Chain A
Amino acid sequence: MFKRHTPIRSFVLTVFAAVVAWGFVSAQDHAHGAHGGHADVAEHAAEHAHEGDHHGSHDEAEFKAGEFIVGHIADAHDIHLWGHTHIPLPVILWTSEGLDIAMSSSFIAEGDHHGHADRTYHSESTGVHYTMHGSEKQAHGETILAGSITAEGVDVLDLSITKSVFGMLLIMVFMLWLFGSIARSYKKRGTVAPTGMANALEPLIIFIRDEVAKPAIGKHADKYLPFLLTVFFFTFFSNLLGLIPFIGGFNITGTLGITLVMATLVFLITNFTGNKHYWGHVLWMPGVPAGVKALILTPIEVIGLFLKPTVLMIRLTANITAGHIIILAFTSLIFIFGKGGEEAVAGMGIGVFSTAFMIFMYLLELLVAFLQAFVFTLLAALYFGDAKQEAHH
């Protein structure tokens, strides 16, 4: 077929073949209503059909794409690998009665799977009875969505290590190890050409320094570089981790709580390092009539101070989440057309189309993973540059 089998061509071919095959197998699985050690995403849908069979109700057997997708992109209290295999994460609850720490697996689903979706946990030490409110989906032993723990008569502060927090810490430890070892290799080798990981990542570091920080900030760039580099690599690695299938579908940079912190840091750094010129332009723009300034310009500029990091936060979260949603939506298509195994052929047919499109989306998402990290870093650098701009009149 191809005259030359370059590595990249072979790789793309293999991936394509694998994904198409996976699509077929998933659809067939679906038809038999069987549980297997298959892919995360497909397994979910398959299980759904299975659970539906248990209850015998046709309504429940119906595949709910919305729930399926949210279950994958929302933050959760465990890492769902496949089937009934979960990695429990610590649930940390701070209440007026004291601190409770338990693994998410200690929360037991109560009652029958039909009506009650809640899981409960009774703490021995504080005597608090916690309830984890979940959707119907969660009752089926699937992902436990975060942000839903309450206790009667007690205020609960949920400080759990959720999936996204765990992923974030994982990325940070990885970064500390990676860049720590790179720094050591630089120290050891001196001014000789770099090797290995240092060699691989050096272009990115230089790119951020020379193409992002220096043009945007100018001579003060060095001061902001550690932040910009940290944010860039954190975002980039997090985005990439979110694209790796079968490991629980991390959506770190698609979690608002995390992007909120990143944006807030940008806001704080911008405004705490802002010079006289910057504040002059924000609060009392020179060369504009006083009335216009007081009534229009200054309010707009002040709103802008908060708007800029907010947009930064939303852009990153929305882009990464959207990418995940599209891939999951095309997976859902297979099961929607397959109708819980009743129309396996239609499911398979759509599966071919869906997988082909998913490959395209995955490639696009690889680009987006870099692009969004770059855009976040570039805009942060531009805001820093604004704050540090000298008067040039």
Chain B
Amino acid sequence: MGALLSPAFGTVIWASIAFIVVLLLMRRMAWGPILKALNDREESITAALNEAEKARQEMATLSDENERLLKEARKERDSILTEARETATQMVAEARAKAQAEADRDLANARDAIAVERKAAVAELKAEVASLSIDIAERLMRQQLERNDEQQQLVNKLIDESPLN
């Protein structure tokens, strides 16, 4: 049992030398490159994942942007349409109002002109009628007054006709 329970000197010497040599060799030859490769790969995977995530986000923002632009364009179109419609309505109304005003003014003018014309015509007519009456009256007078009795007759008749009573 002694061999089991006490470390043998030779074994310790060999194990010490072998362990230290193998440790140094492994660190240089194996673990260094392996751990570096693992790290590199993990980093490249992380980087790739990050890039993918970034691209995904970019895509998302891009589509968001598109959506936003589209919405904006739609809104603008709507506003332009509304505005145009309003403008059109307004223009029509304005035109109508203007036409109305013009028509009214023309009508008024015409009316005035007619009134003036009529006045003139009436005045002329009056003058004509007056002169015609005087003329008729003169001729009548001349004819009637050539005889006496007839003169008397007329005077009587006039007296009768005159509204004296």
Tell me the A residues contacting B by CB distance below 8 Å: 70, 73-75, 92, 145-148, 157-162, 164-165, 168-169, 172, 175-176, 179-180, 182-184, 186-187, 190-191, 198, 202, 205-206, 209, 222, 225-227, 229-230, 234, 255-258, 260-262, 264-265, 321
Q: Is B31's CB under 8 angstroms from A179's CB? A: yes
B27 to chain A, nearest CB (A): 4
- Name the B residues within 8 Å of A157 (CB-CB): 9-10
Q: Is A226's CB under 8 angstroms from B38's CB? A: no
Chain B interface size range? 35 or more
Choice from B11, B18, B38, B44 contacting A202 with Cβ under 8 Å: B38
Q: Is B7's CB under 8 angstroms from A260's CB? A: yes
Q: Is A226's CB under 8 angstroms from B5's CB? A: no
Judged by a CB distance under 8 angstroms, whether B59 is at the interface is: no
Choice from A148, A162, A164, A176 contacting B29 with Cβ under 8 Å: A176
Interface of A is mostly: helix
Q: Is B15's CB under 8 angstroms from A191's CB? A: no
Within 8 A of A (CB), among B15-51: 15-16, 18-20, 22-23, 25-27, 29-35, 37-38, 40-41, 44-45
Choice from A75, A179, A230 contacting B11 with Cβ under 8 Å: A75
Tell me the B residues contacting A by CB distance below 8 Å: 1-16, 18-20, 22-23, 25-27, 29-35, 37-38, 40-41, 44-45
Q: Is B31's CB under 8 angstroms from A172's CB? A: no
Q: Is B30's CB under 8 angstroms from A182's CB? A: yes
**Residue on A nearest B20 in the bound complex, by CB:** A265
Q: Is B4's CB under 8 angstroms from A73's CB? A: yes
**Residue on B nearest A321 in the bound complex, by CB:** B4
Q: Is A225's CB under 8 angstroms from B35's CB? A: yes
Q: Is A226's CB under 8 angstroms from B19's CB? A: no
A237 to chain B, nearest CB (A): 12
